[in-house]
Amino acid sequence: MKNVIKTTLLLGVLLASCQKDFDATNDPTDEVGNISIGLSKDSARSAFSKILSKAVFNEPELRNFIKSTAIDEFDNDQDVFYPFVRDEMVSEGKTFREILDMYSENKEILLQIEEALPLLNIYVPDLTAFFKFNAEHWDTSDKEIVVTALNQNNDPHVFYGNGERMFTLDKNEIPGFPCLVIKNNERVKLKNDIKVKGVSSKSAYEFVADAFDKKLKTKSLSNSTENRTLTLGAWSEFGVHPDYWQRDYIYYGMSRSNS
């Protein structure tokens, strides 16, 4: 399996940078083995990446579901917000969550992930500046797609394929191959009066700003301090220079000095 995916993705990896072997001594999912202590947010995102990579490899209907949901852009971006889709039917009477549970190591892992990540999100990156991949161009008949987590630490991004650790890319390297990114959704939040820990029902969430609500048919900038800071920072760093991409600053922390 590992050799199949590496061969298929070789050209894409070369577009991003040199491929790096995974360091098994620094596996971000190691913490999953000790369920009793709970998961940190980074470990939870990495654990979810591993589970999802196996599920999307083996379940074509799940790939189709993620693609169509991302294209819908409920928050004006190609996001699949896990709390909103986990109970939706995907195939053969199984919900999104039930499919993931089939590929989890034990019944407690998903519960731990949901508790740690109330804003858990699957992002289909728009990589069309480098090659033909985004939600619209994703060929879901091809099962070989890898998954990584956008964590807050400075460790390289670990990519998983069919539940296996494949390779890593440094923070300043952009994938040159089909992939899914696990991160927090920065466009929605839990309502202020919600005290329940972990993933909640749809009614417990609201948009950070009206600009992110697709139903309002606007894609204007958010008024929130966090998103305004990110947007202004991206503009200040890259502007409209044709060789740079402002999304790189927002999602990958890239700048002129490390791009």
For each of the chain's 259 residues, which pLDDT tens digit applies?
554 444 344 434 433 443 444 454 455 555 454 444 578 999 999 999 999 999 999 999 999 999 999 999 999 999 999 999 999 999 989 999 999 999 999 889 999 999 999 999 999 999 988 889 999 999 999 999 999 998 877 788 999 999 999 999 987 788 889 999 999 999 999 988 666 677 778 889 999 999 899 998 765 444 455 555 665 566 566 554 444 555 556 655 666 666 5
Global pTM? Answer: 0.75
Residues 6+ apart with CB under 8 A from 20: 156, 167, 168, 169, 170
- Tokens describing residue 25: 């001594």
Residue 133 C-alpha from the chain's centroid: 15
Q: Alpha helix locations (H) across the chain? A: 2-16, 41-58, 60-72, 82-85, 96-102, 109-116, 225-238, 246-252
Amino acid (one-letter) located at 248: D
* Cα(131)–Cα(121) distance, integer angstroms: 23
